[in-house]
Structure 1
Amino acid sequence: MIIEIITTGDEVLTGFTVDTNASWVSLQLLEQGWQVRRRQTVGDRMDDLTDVLRERSLIADVIIFNGGLGPTSDDKTTDAVAQVAGVPLELNSDWLANMEQKFSNRGRVMPASNRKQAMLPQGSTVLDNPIGTACGFKLKINNAVCYFTPGVPNEFKQMVNEQIIPDLKQQFSYGAAVVRRYFTFGISESSLSDMLDPLCWPEHIELGYRSSMPIIEMKLISQHADADFDTAEKQLLSVITPYLVASDYLDMPKRLAALLETHLEILEGSTCGELLTELAPDMPNLCADYHAHLPDSADELLQHIQHHSRLTLAIGTAKEQRYPIALWDGIHGWAQTLFVRTLDVTLQRRIIAFAAQDMLRRYLLKQPVLGDYQTLQRTDSSYRP
């Protein structure tokens, strides 16, 4: 199924308004198994609106058209739809009454210009807007089922969640794709591509990559929930498992909190509270301290925390982009010093804070505590039984 999103508005096109609606609805659709194939933005010129709608409705199966349903003269979506569909505009008396009631409830008389928002293309189906005055509407144009929605984010989101997605499920459930997400750490996007792209994948399987430092997210997308997807997933996991930190969703702090059955103590040096900031909201029993003079080597940092009786995770003092990290469970200890290549200190701290969380994750899952990273050089390590 080909789904496209068209956003309208000079304010979006010029950058005065950031189009958060398109990215939000793309993610909502992906979680339902539908990947958006194309997104584009047009201004408020009638010719541009009609051209894009006429062209894309011949190609797409579904179009979500966002914006241009207001009462002012620059809101031209409804007129453009009627022109492309070749139908007249008709007064929807039910929506007019709805608007008049909303204004009455606020102790106001509805301005005459709002009447425009009750003029809908003949044959369209109203999409309710319980918040604002602009109803959405649905209309089949050429090949595409088109949903026309207001641009106000809270109105748009409620319409998508309560009406558009349920309607799509009813009409296109047979075409829903299978989508799984995988999050890797310690390997580059290009290295993953070198290993995965040459492999043989079923024709309807797609691989997607997204770099979001310090994570590389991968998506496995299939238009069919069949044995080919299971085969493709096994092939993917056979390559990425050494670097895999989560599937389906990331949220490392929540995952660690669910695994942790005891108190955790944190000592932070050069990361300046980055680790604590990430973990604290999900770990109410966390005990944390900042130390300006923690050791700058793995072995010395491990020695420093050996007197602790509880599970302790420590990040020491960085020296020339080398950060020591140590984990002590009261009996055993592991430590490593990792060299971070970037000169961006803020990014260094994020990467090392995540590496510390990965050490804890590996320990809690009874995996080798020290990961085999390609993008982080281990300059020394220590283990105390």
Structure 2
Amino acid sequence: MIKNEIIPEIKLNYPLAESKLCYRLTTMGRTESDLAQEIDSTLDIPENITIGYRAAMPIIELKLTGPENQKSEMDKLWQQIKSVVNANLLYEGVLSESGETGLAHVVSKLLHDTNQSIVIIEQQSAGMISYQLFEADAPVVKSEIVPLLLDEPSSYFTGLLKAQGANIAIGIINFQEKNSQFTLIIATLKQVLHFNLKYTGRSQSKRTQQQVLAAIALDGLRRYLLNMPIIGANIWLEVME
């Protein structure tokens, strides 16, 4: 009924407007208002081309929408936008129906492309990193949630790597509720990278806090796999000595 009667009736009474193009990218580490202010103040955006923002802490999706007959102008504008957000760009396009797991799909592809398996150790994120990577079909060989503190994290991580025969391990551990400090670790059998970090954003619900920590860990792993600086530009993240 829908195919043979309803849809033809809708098309008859509501002719389709001109085809639209929509470009998407996802960022982390800047506010929506900050992004919008810089883009609006530095770029000349035609009236019939619009920029939209969708915030879902800790990420912001940016969309450029306009008529198909202005593709050339939109392509040029899109390159300018990507230049503005480059330091905070996570990925371009739509990688999954849920923005929450899009970054995990990026990491999963990088792990498969480089033929690396992974071990995940979590504390405050309570399994959220593992869940997102499992959903993205990443080559996860083990995941676990550890007690509050790990006194010797380097040996713990390398021990798990050896026991599981994995190539890389990632962990968010030693979270301190009183000051939101925590440790991000990315480890292989050759090196263990420690990053003592502090989340400086406003107080969030437990779930949102877990989403923030998971995104920081996944972005750090993405950057490691792409040979980029591990900690990206993020106004809510402070690197501690």
Taking the TM superposition and a 5 Å limit, the aligned residue runs for 1:325-364 are 325-336=184-195, 337-341=197-201, 342-364=203-225
Q: Confirm or deny: 8 A CA contact 2:23 2:65 kept in the other structure.
A: yes
Distance 2:154 2:206 in 1: 24
Question: What's the offset of the Cα at 1:301?
Answer: 4.2
> Is 2:145 the counterpart of 1:290?
yes
- Give 1:128's aligned residue: 3
CA gap of 1:286–1:201, structure 2 versus 1, over 3 A, is farther
1:232 to 77, 85, 91: 77
Decide which structure has the larger Cα Rg and report it: 1
- Cα deviation, 1:249-294, whole Å, max 9, x if unaligned, reads 1422222221102110111112111111211231254311221133
Taking the TM superposition and a 5 Å limit, the aligned residue runs for 1:180-199 are 180-199=23-42
SS at match of 1:283: coil
CA gap of 1:214–1:139, structure 2 versus 1, over 3 A, is same
Q: Confirm or deny: 8 A CA contact 1:302 1:327 kept in the other structure.
A: no
Question: What's the offset of the Cα at 1:312?
Answer: 0.6
Distance 1:293 1:202 in 2: 50
Q: Confirm or deny: 8 A CA contact 1:182 1:244 kept in the other structure.
A: yes
- Give 1:305's aligned residue: 157
Q: Which amino acid aligns with 1:201?
A: D
- Cα deviation, 1:61-112, whole Å, max 9, x if unaligned, reads xxxxxxxxxxxxxxxxxxxxxxxxxxxxxxxxxxxxxxxxxxxxxxxxxxxx
Provide the identity percentage. 23
CA gap of 1:370–1:200, structure 2 versus 1, over 3 A, is closer
Taking the TM superposition and a 5 Å limit, the aligned residue runs for 1:6-45 are none
- Give 1:314's aligned residue: 171
1:252 to 89, 94, 103: 103
- Cα deviation, 1:43-75, whole Å, max 9, x if unaligned, reads xxxxxxxxxxxxxxxxxxxxxxxxxxxxxxxxx
- Cα deviation, 1:346-371, whole Å, max 9, x if unaligned, reads 21111101110001111112221111
Distance 2:2 2:140 in 1: 47
Taking the TM superposition and a 5 Å limit, the aligned residue runs for 1:214-225 are 214-223=58-67, 224-225=69-70
2:183 to 296, 315, 324: 324
Question: What's the offset of the Cα at 1:248?
Answer: 0.9
Distance 1:138 1:246 in 2: 38
- Give 1:274's aligned residue: 128
Q: Which amino acid aligns with 1:279?
A: L
> Which ranges of structure 1 fall in alignment gaps of 5 or more residues?
1-125, 130-134, 148-166
Q: Which amino acid aligns with 1:176?
A: S
Q: Which amino acid aligns with 2:216?
A: A
Taking the TM superposition and a 5 Å limit, the aligned residue runs for 1:68-79 are none
- Give 1:58's aligned residue: none
Distance 1:346 1:137 in 2: 41
> Which ranges of structure 2 fall in alignment gaps of 5 or more residues?
96-101
SS at match of 1:256: helix
- Give 1:87's aligned residue: none
Q: Confirm or deny: 8 A CA contact 1:301 1:325 kept in the other structure.
A: no
- Give 1:241's aligned residue: 86
Distance 1:275 1:263 in 2: 15
Distance 2:233 2:155 in 1: 23
Q: Confirm or deny: 8 A CA contact 1:184 1:217 kept in the other structure.
A: yes
Distance 2:216 2:88 in 1: 12
Distance 1:248 1:137 in 2: 29
SS at match of 2:232: coil
Q: Confirm or deny: 8 A CA contact 1:301 1:324 kept in the other structure.
A: no
Q: Confirm or deny: 8 A CA contact 2:24 2:61 kept in the other structure.
A: yes
CA gap of 1:215–1:138, structure 2 versus 1, over 3 A, is same
Question: What's the offset of the Cα at 1:304?
Answer: 4.7
- Cα deviation, 1:96-147, whole Å, max 9, x if unaligned, reads xxxxxxxxxxxxxxxxxxxxxxxxxxxxxx8535xxxxx416458xxx9536
- Give 1:146's aligned residue: 13
CA gap of 1:314–1:272, structure 2 versus 1, over 3 A, is same
- Give 1:162's aligned residue: none
Q: Confirm or deny: 8 A CA contact 1:268 1:315 kept in the other structure.
A: yes
Q: Confirm or deny: 8 A CA contact 2:108 2:139 kept in the other structure.
A: no
Q: Confirm or deny: 8 A CA contact 2:170 2:217 kept in the other structure.
A: yes
